[in-house]
Amino acid sequence: MKKLLFLAAALSAACAASAQGYYTDAYNPDITRHSLRIAPQRVEFVLPEVGGYTVYKADLHTHSIYSDGDCTPEFRVREAWYDGLDVLAITEHVEYRSHEGKMLNFLKGYVPEGTEAINNNIIRRSADERGIQSDLNLPVKLARETARKYGLTIIPGAEITREPIAYGHYNALFTTDNNSLYATDALQSLRNAKAQGALVMHNHPGWRRKSLEHPEFEVKAYGEGLIDGIEIMNGAEFYPKAIARAHARKLFVSANTDIHDATAETYRLQGHSRNMTLIFAKENTLEALREAIEARRTLAYSFGTIAGDEQLLKDLFTASVRTSVLHTDAKGRRHTLPMLRNQTRGAENLCLSDFIADRRDGATDYIGAFALTAGIGLQELCDKFRSEGDDYSAIMAKLLADRLTEAFAEVVHSFVRRQMWGYETAEAPTPQQVIAGEYRGRRMAFGYPASPDHSLKREIFDLLAVEQTTRMRLTENWMISPGEALCGLFFSDARYFSVGQIDAEQLRDYAERRGLAVETVEKIIPNNV
């Protein structure tokens, strides 16, 4: 029954295509295959507001069958929505570039009778001797018609493409007439784009032609001020040198797919989010997007890496971190953390509470609490390895998770010192200095010499609502699951020490402050009594 329903839908689409005079994705078996392999729902790539701006996800470099792509403009819009984008630019090549049978290859020979097959070659046979397509504005028009259904904004554009190596590729964005961009002189094509008020982006500057080495054409283009932005990521390629150029020449940065086939093949079906240019704009309109791009409020995202302006990256990171305290006790009960004092004869008798200012003295001071892990899903992974007879990979996975947990703690502590509390303003310590503890502030984990009482983890777990907000759990013996985890306190000024042995009087005092029997405390800290 499902097959019959799908067939009926395909036949309906075919009739519609015959009536409107151009083909649709319904005739492409590859597109049908992609659609069936991907869940029909939008992938949300959630980013916070930053400085009053919404972060819109865009792809500023795509191709359809109207140049050398494999998909229709309508399909480009649909897949962009499924991939979590807010903005899409359709940027066909303005020059004649022969791609024999591109459309017929797309159709795989399934051209219904009565349907006008708009093959690139057919279009170009009717074009003038310069080889320009009959209407380069048509793919933008078709994309916009579909975009209305999905709430996407379509940026009109085209790609100015020249060979040989010395010229390179450039996208003109926010164009008004793609048909008038072409000129025999490649430099004049860029001037034509600027005359329309377009923003020009230098595409894949490190791709094949080593264009970051400033060939003659590029020197002229940059020298005339014709270039507004640059791709620092194109597909799976990353051009770090382009970041320096963007900074030096005040260019906006971008990351784009430059997609020709279906994005599913390169991204979603491989477990990746597609490339995105992150645009910090007031609203998702052409005017607001253009203002943001001209102001260079863009970042580039590709395969898990975000790159671009340092300050904008910091603003995005800070906005992404929630620093508010979640209280789960409806009665507003204060969480008290009793501590023990070192009583070693002849030593400095320290207690962790010594490193917090006394409120009775009129001072204001802070203490931080944390619970973190890099072990979520580790047990399942190790079980899988062992079921396959791969004990070595299971051991290495646990070892790596343990090291990552420690590294995670260091990163969080660095954020607290340098941004949340902001008391560490000097140059960031080197990895060697971090290992040696050569920085201000300390993190103290429960169960360690300065705070040997494991049971205090319960107070922290309740305070931070750890079990309500994460997959971390605390056992009845105060062990954290997964085992690759840490829980403790942050101090802005402290140092490591060992409580060591305590006497009977301190034991009774500590038991009273903990609200526990002396016998219970003896079992909790057996090495200290």
Q: CB-based contacts of 204: which residues, under 8 Å, 6+ apart?
A: 169, 231, 234, 237, 239, 258
The pLDDT value recorded for residue 97 is: 43
The pLDDT value recorded for residue 320 is: 79
Multiple choice CATH, 50-96+135-320, 1.10.10.2160, 3.40.50.970, 3.20.20.140, 3.40.50.300: 3.20.20.140
Report the alpha-carbon distance of residue 337 to residue 314 in Å, rounded: 34
SS3 19: helix
Query: Class of 352-373+409-528 per CATH?
Result: alpha beta
Q: Tell me the pLDDT tens digit for each residue of 324-378.
A: 444 445 445 567 788 999 888 777 888 998 888 877 777 778 888 999 999 999 9
C-beta separation of 266 from 222 below 8 A: no
C-beta separation of 68 from 124 below 8 A: no
The pLDDT value recorded for residue 164 is: 56
The pLDDT value recorded for residue 347 is: 76
Q: Which regions in the chain score pLDDT beneath 50?
A: 1-24, 26-30, 32, 97-133, 323-328, 330-331
The pLDDT value recorded for residue 296 is: 97
Reduce the secondary structure of 202-264 to three states and give it as a string.
Answer: ECCCCCCCCHHHCCHHHHHHHHCCCCCEEEEEECCEECHHHHHHHHHHCCEEEEECCECCCHH
The pLDDT value recorded for residue 229 is: 97
The pLDDT value recorded for residue 421 is: 87
Report the alpha-carbon distance of residue 23 to residue 18 in Å, rounded: 7
Report DSSP letters for 61-79, one per residue.
-B--TTTT-SS-HHHHHHH
The pLDDT value recorded for residue 166 is: 55
Where does residue 449 rank: exposed (0-12), middle (13-18), buried (19+ CB within 10 A)? middle
Q: Tell me the pLDDT tens digit for each residue of 415-431.
A: 888 888 888 888 888 88
The pLDDT value recorded for residue 27 is: 44
pTM of structure: 0.57
Residue 171's DSSP bridge partners are: 159, 201
The pLDDT value recorded for residue 24 is: 47
The pLDDT value recorded for residue 481 is: 92
Report the alpha-carbon distance of residue 382 to residue 388 in Å, rounded: 10
Q: How far is CA 484 from CA 223, 233, 385, 399, 472, in A?
A: 56, 35, 18, 9, 10
For the chain, the domains span 50-96+135-320, 352-373+409-528
Q: CB-based contacts of 117: which residues, under 8 Å, 6+ apart?
A: 23, 103, 104, 107, 111
